[in-house]
Chains A and B, each alone.
Chain A
Amino acid sequence: MLSKRLIVCLDVRNKKVTKGVKFKGNIDIGEPVELARQYYLDGVDELVFYDITASAEKRPIDIEMVAEVAKTIFIPFSVGGGISNVDDMRRALLAGAEKVSVNSLAVKNPEIIRQGAQAFGNQCIVLGMDAKKVPVSDTIKSGYEIVIQGGRTPTGKDALEWALQAQELGAGEICLNSIDADGTKEGYELELTRMVSEAVQIPVIASGGGGTCDHIVDVLQQGKADAALIASMVHYGDYTCSGIKEYVSKKGVKMRLK
């Protein structure tokens, strides 16, 4: 039986893993390669690296870091941030990443999904999407709108329609982040996650709001997610990946245990 996955997200700024704290800016957590190794040995199923300043600084993703990570861990990892075309994707994949993630870029240019999928296979292309709850309207029938630029800019795109369109274009996986839940540690957006996961045939990673092990159980069971993304739960040492997976497994969710 296929296991549900626990994925740790590492936001990288100036070669350091960082975590945004509401109203307080960002604090450094550690070195990306060291943290990757630590989570790898602790049994994490997959990692995601976001080069969060690459786009703003108009530079490609830090390929040196990708290559160092690939030498250090032997599980899949994806990278995002600073991917602006197929050549950037190729460099990241050749450096050893398993998948590349596109978000705002795909909203502005959906064809990038098709181009990436044709060049490297669907399984290499992850669509990251940030969704925000809005009143149901003629244009936003699902009640969730796609937002970009860290949630500041609404796009007028319906989240559910966008997920289906991205699947059609060749996305191999969706990383679905709830802007409303993100950073709250009060639990994932179960309604949104379930709606998207039941509508598409590709795996869905739930993101935003994870604060306790029970939140993870809920999003994998009720939310029907294939994987749960976490960050601060493990970055501050409150939890370990192995501890979380053991707990979630005891609650009846199939997880890979050591």
Chain B
Amino acid sequence: MIAIIDYKAGNLTSVELALKHVGADCKVTDKPEEIARADKVIFPGVGTAQSCMDNLRNLGLDLALKDAVNSGKPVMAICIGQQLIFEHSEEDGGVDCLGILPGKVVRFDFEKERNVKVPHMGWNEVEILKPHPILTGFPDRGECYFVHSYYVKVDAPELVYAQTDYEGNRFTCAVGRDNLFATQFHPEKSGEDGLQLLRNFLNWNGKQ
């Protein structure tokens, strides 16, 4: 069973529906004990860093997630979930995050006269830097759906699996370490290529 962590951060329905579509047995849950029992964990989310961290801590889900990562079971984080597994976010005036991976979350910062739109919203190319079981069968420079104003700056380059260019800013869009994999884009909203990543997660044993 796959536990989809419900920390009251926006819409989890699309993740659940996409996982069911590819044949997963999954459940949306806010109970640490269910996450502990699950075979795999998805850490999704839409929202702001501060409210997400508050909710995680209040529900005891921060520890449940760290336990899941430490246990070796496959864990996949999406969008704000990917951001929160790093150490710190500059959103909301600065928020300490889960600190599972080294790095920080920063806002897109373009010169005002360029009038670059933030959030970065829409379909953009995912440039794969090195293979990973979750990326199997995904076309290099295939496009995925993004919607975000912040991105991660990873302190350990060896953890970066894919990057994306937005108006000259090449940012990390997929990271991984051991049994943990995370994307800035939304595989559940990225058509058939996105579903392929979720299928790969279903088949993944958490090893590289």
Contacts and interface: CB of A to CB of B under 8 A. Distances in A.
Interface of A: 1-5, 40, 45, 70-71, 74-76, 93-96, 98, 120-124, 172-173, 198, 201-203, 226-227, 256
B146 to A, nearest CB: 8
Nearest to A120: B10
Nearest to A92: B11
- The dominant DSSP class at the B interface is mixed
B47 A74 contact: no
A31 B18 CA distance: 22
A203 B46 contact: no
A74 B121 contact: no
A70 B143 CA distance: 20
Nearest to B116: A201
Nearest to A40: B191
A98 B17 CA distance: 13
B121 A123 contact: yes
25 contacts: A1-B125, A1-B166, A2-B120, A2-B123, A2-B167, A3-B122, A45-B123, A70-B13, A74-B14, A74-B18, A74-B21, A74-B188, A74-B189, A74-B190, A74-B194, A75-B145, A75-B189, A76-B145, A76-B189, A98-B11, A120-B46, A122-B119, A124-B10, A172-B121, A226-B122
A98 B122 contact: no
B59 interface: no
Contacts of A256: 123, 143
A96 B124 contact: no
B122 A2 contact: yes
